[in-house]
Amino acid sequence: MATQTMGRLPETIKAKLVKNMREMSLVEGNLLSAGKGARSLFVTSSFKGEGKTTAALSLAYGLTVNGSSTVLMMDGNSGTPLLHQLFQVENAPGFTEFLQGGVQLADLIRGTDIRNLALMPFGSGGLDLASILKGNLLQERLAQLQEHFDYIIMDGCSVMSCSEVNVLAGQFDGVVLVVECEKTKWEVVQGVVERLRLVNGNVLGVVLNKRRYYIPASLYGKI
């Protein structure tokens, strides 16, 4: 598929992804085991600032590491869309235009300098996504994208700061919840998981982010 201008990640971010390549290479196997064929994933968190966007990017990168899977990252964070900034591309057209229709798919998707990884930024702001996302519109749109990509990963907004999660989460094959280590209380996480399940969100698992190593990190793989 011909796409728009190539998006490029800063070298500092790419270096972090490469550093974690060993763990990232296990992503697809873990996903297939937990998700039973899940191809579209909604990544969220309880609160802002838990590292959700970084986790979504790492997940996407992990699926491309072996060079066999094609991945589309979508920005569904209406509050603070960040993917266009990270990849240094224009924010529109993107996800909001994708929902409204009338724009060629090739005009909505940007290639990136990571092999097999493409990007759809958030798009124009000021729209009421909840009203647009009535019925199974997004599921129908995702089916269209799955003709071109093996996996679709959405960087969504956090559950406690955005009501749109209620209409987005249930339209993906699976939900991945990002939790900041030693900050977000377990009781809160349990409540968020229940809230996601009430809106038909299929919670596949939790990513524990910003872990603190109290012994040298190099020893964790040996004990």
- For the chain, the structural domain boundaries read 4-211
Q: How far apart are CA 160 and CA 170, in angstroms?
A: 16
Which of 201, 172, 193 has the alpha carbon at shortest distance from 46?
193
The amino acid at 27: V
pTM: 0.88
Instruction: Give the chain's radius of gyration (CA, Å).
Output: 17
Tens of pLDDT, residues 161-189: 888 898 899 999 999 999 988 788 889 99
Give the CATH fold of the 4-211 domain.
Rossmann fold (3.40.50)
Tens of pLDDT, residues 26-72: 666 677 666 567 899 999 999 999 989 988 998 899 888 876 789 99
User: How many separate helices (H) and strands (E) can be counted in the chain?
Assistant: 11, 8
